[in-house]
Structure 1
Amino acid sequence: MRHGHLSETLDTYGYLVWEVDWENAPASFVELYGLSAPAGLPEAALVPAAERVRRRENA
């Protein structure tokens, strides 16, 4: 992508984050990207994958 700053990359391509199927994603936003999650993401995007699996198994 060769942007000078990560913020430029996120400003350009950040909208793609909203297209993720977070309920079935293999990891949370932080696990996937190693960054703090932006405001407005669904709760599933903030819950680690292991916790989501545990919740499904106990449902």
Structure 2
Amino acid sequence: MKENQFDKFLNSKLDNFCNPEQKKVILYIDKPMSEATNTQLNMINGIKQKNVIIVNSLDELGKIIK
């Protein structure tokens, strides 16, 4: 996973933009966040700053996509 992978869903000025309806961008992480390294946590925080919703459980995901 790379932070810039989300740009094509967030930045309508890019040629490869693929979210014309401006839907929410969600990243589902299926591993416990407590096992994440500092590097991974920094990357996740960078992704959050791009207004990507981060979820870590199916319950959370279900609430968001209702």
Fold conserved (TM > 0.5)?
Answer: no
Structure with more strand by fraction: 2
Q: Whose relative contact order is higher, 1 or 2, with alpha carbons under 8 Å and at least 6 apart?
A: 2
TM-score by length of 2: 0.31
Structure with more helix by fraction: 1
